[in-house]
Amino acid sequence: MKKLPTYYISHGGGPWPYMPDFRAQMKVLEESLVAMVNELGEKPKAVLMISGHWEETAYTVMGNPVPPMVYDYYGFPPHTYQVKYPAPGDPALAERVKSLIEAAGLPAAIDPERGFDHGTFAPLVVMYPEADVPVVQLSMRTHYDPLEHVKLGRALAPLREEGILIVGSGLSYHNLRQFGAAGKVPSEQFDAWLQTALAIESQEERTATVCDWTKAPSARIAHPREDHLIPLMTALGAAESEKAYCVYHEKNIFGGVTASSFRFGELT
């Protein structure tokens, strides 16, 4: 089994793949998600998704073999609260993830009831529409400590050689009050910083710079609450010595916002 890269993706808004007009607006993002699957080639054994929509006091792994849906969005058409993404869970992988986290000295737990939130099912319904790849979600911790989430990624790194695709799912600019024209300048500024930071060649310097993200231009405008940025730290930590590649970049999502996604590691 080849060693898989890791990804940090901007996952779009709410249940966008299930709304034709909204999906058309996400065309560039959708194309990037399909391209990710194509560049990987063979399907992974499973996807481990760290979603920006789930946080707990300990790193918590979804242990449900038949995950339900979590409709964690508001104000969308009624049919979007009936959609199903029927990918199976993987309880054995959940236990493996928990053991790796605990071996790194970090707190971990299994949630036997948790289902897929839209940070997971929205991108995956585009990537794997047949829902034929097992999926396990992993929470962030509520404190959002950047370096600890990098350490989480380090702990999960062995999974890359076991056929497990590690994906951090968030949005590189996430300020619901400043989308559209109001988000144009701050999203451009933060994205430019992020591109530069991830291109730093020194592993130690790159990790330190990214973890110190609040010093970036427009940092707290881009992320008033960093839930959609922290999954980046885990994707980075799981491929910390490897190069970052921008795999999605758009300057007009959500009416004027710049957003990006990244791959860490080579395609072998």
Kindly report the CATH number assigned to the domain that includes residue 85. 3.40.830.10
Residue 74 structure tokens: 């508001």
Tell me how many domains the chain contains: 1
The dihedral over CA atoms of 247, 138, 90, 2, expressed in degrees to the nearest 10, equals 40
Confidence grade of residue 268 (pLDDT, cut at 50, 70, 90) = confident
Overall average pLDDT of the 86-97 stretch? 98
Checking if the pLDDT of 1 tops 70, the result is no
Q: How does pLDDT run across 48-87, given as a tens digit for each residue?
A: 999 999 999 999 999 999 999 999 999 999 999 999 999 9
pTM listed for this prediction: 0.97
The 10 Å Cβ neighbour count of residue 141 is: 18
61 bridge partner residues:
110, 138
- For 232-259, the DSSP string reads HHHHHHTTTTS-EEEEEEEEEETTTEEE
CA–CA distance, 156 with 162 (Å, rounded to integer): 11
Q: Looking at the domain assignment, is residue 105 inside a domain?
A: yes
CA distance 140 to 149: 8
How far from chain centre, in Å, is Cα 262? 10
CA 162, CA 44: separation in Å to the nearest integer?
Answer: 9
Which class for 68: exposed (0-12), middle (13-18), buried (19 or more C-beta within 10 A)?
Answer: exposed
Half-sphere exposure of 120 (CA within 13 A, CB side): 35
Distance of CA 242 to the CA centre of its chain: 18
Range of the domain at 217: 6-264
Is there a domain that residue 1 lies in?
Answer: no
Supply 216's token pair.
């970036």
User: Phi/psi class of residue 21: alpha, beta or left (left: φ > 0; alpha: ψ in -120 to 50)?
Assistant: alpha
pLDDT averaged over the chain? 97
Determine, yes or no, domain membership for 62: yes
Q: What is the mean pLDDT of residues 122-127?
A: 98
Largest CA distance in the chain: 49
pLDDT more than 70, % of the chain? 100
Residue 221 located in a structural domain: yes
For residue 182, the SS3 value is helix
Question: What is the predicted pLDDT for the residue at 2?
Answer: 86
